[in-house]
Amino acid sequence: DIQMTQSPASLSASLEEIVTITCQASQDIGNWLAWYQQKPGKSPQLLIYGATSLADGVPSRFSGSRSGTQYSLKISRLQVEDIGIYYCQQASSAPYTFGAGTKLELK
């Protein structure tokens, strides 16, 4: 099975700050990587698919990138509404594993 190692587990940042979350895949998954945001008590929402493509309706301050088997989610200017838990997921091969999540809080 493909393991997704997500870091950091938690992150405290200030408004307007640049935030970066990373996921390391245990083997090659190409661009089969998605990022999700989950706010408290809500269903997850797709942010990024195909490692770098922005999902419909997602603000442009979110972006995804890839370097080999390391994937990053960047929030260019943190806003209050960005607080929540972020998950990566590999969609290359079953089982389609998720990262453990990154809890993003406001400093």
**Collapsing DSSP states into helix, strand and coil, what is residue 64?**
strand
Closer to other proteins by Cβ: residue 54 or 83: 54
Of 19, 25, 36, 82, the one binding other proteins by CB under 8 A: 36
Which residue's structure tokens are 């950091």?
Answer: 8
The residue count for binding other proteins (CB under 8 A) is 24
One-letter amino acid for residue 54 of the chain? L
Burial class (CB in 10 A: 0-12, 13-18, 19+), 16: exposed
Closer to other proteins by Cβ: residue 20 or 101: 101
Residues engaged in binding other proteins (CB under 8 A): 32, 34, 36, 38, 43-46, 49-50, 55-56, 87, 89, 91-92, 94-101
